[in-house]
């Protein structure tokens, strides 16, 4: 199950460790992670806006089909010479359009969508940085502002849907559909709604799986 979550960094930290891991980790370890996280942001010269620390977490069931289809929808806009597949491929991460977007030297127009970003924070600019994740590895991180611009451009270049129409795709599209565009629209609706919420309330946005 893949979820898209918006909330304070403390909820991100707990969620990435899982219920069992969060229960046994000491407050000192959590503070140590946050210190390393903030230090990495400073080293990358990324200035994050003051974040809300007490807000509740919101989460949506995204699933891999809508997420992968949204990624491919952006990838094929990057690679218009390739024919977009009509159905959701089971192994979307091996798609040739996405592979070209990830090639060394390629300047993507939708980098926060096609380059494996899993955490978005309220900062300006388009920097994509690797930050320490709670479990000890790194998490690829980008700005909410950049994600919002990419979602806006993606919609403008394809569907040209008004905000209310696009947000209605979340529940209005048949979840059993295997069509790439149907799944991409549902993924777009979920990302668009939670991205706007996170940006407005100065929260983190992340993928949880």
Tally of CB atoms within 10 A around 196: 16
Higher pLDDT, 158 or 88: 158
Confidence (pTM):
0.94
What is residue 24's predicted lDDT score, i.e. its pLDDT? 60
Work out whether strand 138-143 and strand 119-121 pair parallel, antiparallel, or are unpaired: parallel
Reported as a single tens digit per residue, the pLDDT across 5-35 is 999 999 999 888 876 666 566 788 889 999 9
The tokens of 163 are what? 């905000």
Q: Which of 145, 173, 180, 136 is nearest to 21 (CA)?
A: 136
Ramachandran sector of residue 149 (left: φ over 0; alpha: ψ -120 to 50; beta: rest): alpha
User: pLDDT tens digit string along 157-186?
Assistant: 999 999 999 999 999 998 889 999 999 999
What is the DSSP code (8-state) at residue 131?
A: E
């Amino acid at each position: 199950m893949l979820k898209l979550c918006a909330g304070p960094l403390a909820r991100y930290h707990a969620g990435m460790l899982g219920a069992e891991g969060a229960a046994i980790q000491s407050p000192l370890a959590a503070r140590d992670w946050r210190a390393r996280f903030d230090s990495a942001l400073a080293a990358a010269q990324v200035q994050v806006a003051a974040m809300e620390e007490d807000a509740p977490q919101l989460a949506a069931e995204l699933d891999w089909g809508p997420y992968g289809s949204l990624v491919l929808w952006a990838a094929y806009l990057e690679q218009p010479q390739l024919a977009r597949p009509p159905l959701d491929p089971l192994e979307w991460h091996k798609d040739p359009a996405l592979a070209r977007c990830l090639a060394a030297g390629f300047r993507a127009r939708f980098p926060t969508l096609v380059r494996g970003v899993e955490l978005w924070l309220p900062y300006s600019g388009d920097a994509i940085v690797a930050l320490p994740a709670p479990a000890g590895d790194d998490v690829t991180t980008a700005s909410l502002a950049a994600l919002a611009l990419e979602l806006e451009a993606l919609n403008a270049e394809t569907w040209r849907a008004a905000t209310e129409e696009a947000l209605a795709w979340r529940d209005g599209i048949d979840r059993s559909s295997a069509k790439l565009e149907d799944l991409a629209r549902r993924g777009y609706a979920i990302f668009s709604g939670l991205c706007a919420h996170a940006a407005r309330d100065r929260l983190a946005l992340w993928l949880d799986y």
